[in-house]
Amino acid sequence: MMTLQKQQGFLTIVTVVLIVIIGFVAISIAYVISRSAISTSNFQSASRAFFLAESGLEQATRALLLPTIASRNSCNGLSISNSSMSGGTYTITATGPFKSPAPATTLNGALTNSATTIPVASTTGYQSAGRIMIDRELINYTATDATDFLNATRGIDNSTAAAHASGTAVGQYQCSLTSSGGAPTLTPANPGDPGGIQTVNENIQLQEAWAVGNKPGVSTFTLTHWNNPTEISWTNASVASASAVTLTSITMLSYDDIWAVGNSRTFVHWDGSTWTAQTPAAIPNVTMNGIFCNASNDCHAVGQNSGGALLAHWDGSSWSRIVPSNSSGNNLNSVHCDASNDCWAVGSATGNKLYQWNGSAWAGIVVGALAGFNFNGVFCNSSTDCWAVGSGNIFGRKNGASWADASVTERGSIPSDTYNSVYCVGPSDCWAVGNTNAGNDLFVHWNGTSWSRDSSNPSPVVNLNGVACANTNDCWAVGASSGGQGTFFHWNGTSWVNVAVSGMPNVRMNSVAIIGPSSQPWSNWSENFS
């Protein structure tokens, strides 16, 4: 009997212990499940908040670079508070814009095409991280010291990593964005507890453009400036000159390295601070009609015939004349390069010649298929893909190794009139502009197969002299009405729209150039952890 009672007592104790253990396990499981549910909930909230913050950055970036100018925001005017989206909210703040100092810093030594540390005279005045522009190359960096941009990523956004000469200007123009997302709100549930809140930052490269022309009878260099210092508008940036000057062409290497040319062998240069005029003694006293730069020490300019075709070269310190082989007395109107060793210059039909630069010399190239055709503009996407436009609709095309008259199919139904300028975003996306035709402005577009006339027909009706694009949905064309009023048209991806410009009465605009991001404006993305 005693043994049975002892056994029953032992079993009771075991039962109690098991109950306690099971209870403890159950509590532990419940705790784990509860904590897991809380963790899952927090993770979901954090993920949603991160998505909201990222969405805010995307919205802000688009607001800064919208194709529709009337809807675009300036950096210093961009602010979005508690915008609702997908079960949460986000807030965006912008600081800037940040422009490279004037004058810009310069490279302290030659730079190879693979260097990831960019040595300069000083980084003072530049942001601690972001994007810079050297010649035509875009470069992202993540940090600076007193004389270096560090951790550089070369050849950003369809630009090409290239070697650059010592002394080359370093440009910058960007807006800093901060976006905070909260799920369900940006107000913490408990003081000191960020809850489902995430903050992300990045810098956005901005656009800049210049246009040049003339104002009859006024001693000035006629210049207009887009998006800086007054954002989202053209600003009269004309500079006094000794006499009335006609500026005919402009090229932009970076934000702080720009050249323009004009009559009376006029060359003017922008260093980010000042326009400086030159009248090189080595160049005849005639009108220069076109200019293009590959690098700070490699520019080409063309002009009116003076004892033969006039071609000039800038080597980083001075302008000199280069006499081409097989030359005729052509008036040259335009020059463009797809590489430092491949440039083309076009002009009058004298000798049926175009001119090619091979990296060391210019030579006249007879193109019988284009006999008698006067060209005003040229653009090359590559060594095997160029367009030349001028009088009539016989567009010159280099589609492979040689030039030819564009076929009837390629020309489409565009008017036979005077075309003054051509610009290509890519092989299947080009614009050409010209003089008024049939009572409307003349815009024609190449889609990779054929040219066609755009039907936007914005007012006023003017002769269009220049066109340039930042990307496929963002182009500018400039010109002047018969009364001499300068006019600016903008392509927003759907139509050409007249953009009013104040402070520029009675001027003729002859050429325009623009730089900015093509499709990847962002740099220095980072996430803040609380």
Confidence of residue 3 (pLDDT cuts 50, 70, 90): low
Check whether residue 306 and residue 435 sit in a common domain: yes
Integer Cα distance of 172 and 257 in angstroms? 11
Does residue 109 surpass a pLDDT of 90?
yes
Check whether residue 249 and residue 216 sit in a common domain: yes
**Higher-confidence position of 171 and 17:** 171
Three-state SS sequence of 388-427 = EEEEEEEEEEEECCCEEECCHHHHCCCCCCEEEEEEEEEC
Residue 529 has a pLDDT of: 56
Does residue 31 surpass a pLDDT of 60?
no
Check whether residue 489 and residue 456 sit in a common domain: yes
Q: Average pLDDT over the chain, rounded to whole?
A: 89
**Higher-confidence position of 502 and 397:** 397
Check whether residue 190 and residue 326 sit in a common domain: no
Residue 286 has a pLDDT of: 97
Residue 448 has a pLDDT of: 97
In the chain, how many domains are there?
A: 3
192 within domain boundaries: yes
Residue 393 main-chain phi, psi, to 5 deg: -100, 25
Residue 86 has a pLDDT of: 66
What is the number of alpha carbons within 13 Å of residue 5 lying toward its C-beta?
Answer: 2
Integer Cα distance of 386 and 481 in angstroms? 29
Which of 116, 146, 171 is a domain's end point?
Answer: 171
Q: What's the Rg (C-alpha) of the chain? A: 31
| CATH number of the domain residue 257 falls in | 2.130.10.10
327 within domain boundaries: yes
Check whether residue 45 and residue 165 sit in a common domain: no
Does residue 222 surpass a pLDDT of 50?
yes
Residue 26 has a pLDDT of: 44
Residue 528 has a pLDDT of: 72
Comparing 87-96, 215-224, 330-339, the range with the smallest average pLDDT is 87-96
Q: Is 347 helix (H, G, I), strand (E, B) or coil?
A: strand
Residue 12 has a pLDDT of: 57
Residue 340 has a pLDDT of: 97
17 within domain boundaries: no
Residue 24 has a pLDDT of: 46
442 within domain boundaries: yes
Residue 15 has a pLDDT of: 54
Confidence of residue 461 (pLDDT cuts 50, 70, 90): very high
Residue 187 has a pLDDT of: 63
259 within domain boundaries: yes
Does residue 248 surpass a pLDDT of 80?
yes
> For the chain, what percent of residues have pLDDT higher than 90?
77
Confidence of residue 451 (pLDDT cuts 50, 70, 90): very high
Confidence of residue 38 (pLDDT cuts 50, 70, 90): very low
Residue 2 main-chain phi, psi, to 5 deg: -65, -40
pTM exceeds 0.85 for this model: yes
Q: Please report, as a single letter, which amino acid is at residue 220.
A: T
- pLDDT for 405-449, tens place per residue? 999 999 999 999 999 999 999 999 999 999 999 999 999 999 999
- pLDDT for 157-208, tens place per residue? 999 999 999 999 999 999 999 998 877 666 655 444 455 678 899 999 999 9
Integer Cα distance of 498 and 139 in angstroms? 34
21 within domain boundaries: no
Check whether residue 199 and residue 225 sit in a common domain: no
Check whether residue 135 and residue 265 sit in a common domain: no
Residue 186 has a pLDDT of: 61
529 within domain boundaries: no
Check whether residue 82 and residue 226 sit in a common domain: no
Integer Cα distance of 165 and 292 in angstroms? 17
Integer Cα distance of 186 and 39 in angstroms? 19
Confidence of residue 338 (pLDDT cuts 50, 70, 90): very high
Check whether residue 242 and residue 191 sit in a common domain: no
Two tokens, residue 297: 């020490």
- pLDDT for 287-325, tens place per residue? 999 999 999 999 999 999 999 999 999 999 999 999 999
Check whether residue 481 and residue 380 sit in a common domain: yes
Instruction: Work out the burial of residue 173: count CB atoms within 10 Å of its CB; fewer than 13 is exposed, 13-18 middle, 19 or more buried.
Output: buried
Residue 34 has a pLDDT of: 41
Q: 119-123 long-range contacts, Cβ below 8 Å, gap at least 24? A: 119/147, 119/148, 120/147, 120/148, 120/149, 120/170, 121/147, 122/146, 122/147, 123/147, 123/148, 123/149
Confidence of residue 30 (pLDDT cuts 50, 70, 90): very low
Range of the domain at 165: 105-171
What is the number of alpha carbons within 13 Å of residue 464 lying toward its C-beta?
Answer: 34
Integer Cα distance of 295 and 341 in angstroms? 12
Does residue 90 surpass a pLDDT of 90?
no
Residue 484 has a pLDDT of: 75
Check whether residue 89 and residue 164 sit in a common domain: no
CA-CA-CA-CA torsion sign (435, 441, 447, 452):
negative
Answer for the pair 74, 88: CB distance below 8 angstroms, yes or no: no
> For the chain, what percent of residues have pLDDT higher than 70?
88
502 within domain boundaries: yes
- pLDDT for 411-421, tens place per residue? 999 999 999 99
Residue 185 has a pLDDT of: 62
Confidence of residue 27 (pLDDT cuts 50, 70, 90): very low
Check whether residue 63 and residue 119 sit in a common domain: no
Spell out a b/e string for 330-350, using b for 16 or more CB atoms within 10 Å of the CB, else e.
bbbbbbbbbeeebbbbbbbbb
